[in-house]
Amino acid sequence: MSIRENTRKLLQTMPDGVFIVAAAKTRTGIEISEAIEAGITNIGHNYVQEAENTAQATSGRAKLHLIGHLQRNKVKRAARLFDMIETIDSAEIARVLNDECGIEGKTMPVLIEVNSGREPQKSGVLPEDAIALAREITQLNHISLSGLMTIGPLAGDAEMARPYFQTTWQLFRDIKKLRLHEAEMQYLSMGMSDTYVTAIEEGANLVRIGTAIFGPRPAKA
């Protein structure tokens, strides 16, 4: 099936209030354009460089989300380019991003990335550290806390992912209940092509979908 057909079908199955972020790593500007023309309104990038390379294809027609780890030396470019950063995982990166957003004269919506599977090699904060980071973020004027994001362990099927989605949803609810100043806690970003149905069942309202839109990724060179 084509990108257009994949996208249309997916959009039809999305419940009200659930939004797709098309995960665009390794895809060309032409492919991204095709998804946007079929109705995608959010594009997710893992790398600042890839986002810059394809920004012209997007140019104002979709919001750009950073869904990969944010490196300190890329913060300035990220602040300029993105409409949402889904991967805040330290107070330090939050402060640096806040400063750069101030320089850009914008307020950036951000999500805290939660390492729900407690995997040592993964980025994201451990669940028990998320509330402290949420409090730090709400002290800053140029980034606004909009929710949480998790990837979770990638092994196996959607049922194996469910407990990690549940953990993250509980945390999302707990932080929302704190009613932190300036925190909207509007978005819970969970689920990918193989797991988005389960993620939505467990409360996701942003789903990051790559393969089911664009087809299998080319093997790494």
For residue 169, the SS3 value is helix
Binding-site member from 46, 123, 166, 186 for ligand PLP (CB under 6 A): 46
**Binders in 6-25 for ligand PLP, by CB under 6 A:** 23, 25
| Residue 127 touches ligand PLP, criterion: CB under 6 A | no
What CA–CA distance (Å, rounded) separates 220 from 208? 20
| Residue 27 touches ligand PLP, criterion: CB under 6 A | no
What CA–CA distance (Å, rounded) separates 79 from 57? 19
x/- mask, ligand PLP, residues 64-103, rule CB under 6 A, reads ---x------------------------------------
| Residue 122 touches ligand PLP, criterion: CB under 6 A | no
What CA–CA distance (Å, rounded) separates 124 from 127? 9
The stretches of the chain forming alpha helices (DSSP H) are: 3-13, 29-37, 48-58, 75-81, 91-104, 130-137, 158-177, 196-201, 211-214
Helices (H) and strands (E) in the chain, counts: 9, 8
Give the nearest distance from C-beta 67 to ligand PLP in angstroms: 4
Nearest CB to ligand PLP, comparing residues 42 and 167:
42
Contact positions vs ligand PLP (CB under 6 A): 23, 25, 46, 67, 151, 192-194, 208-212
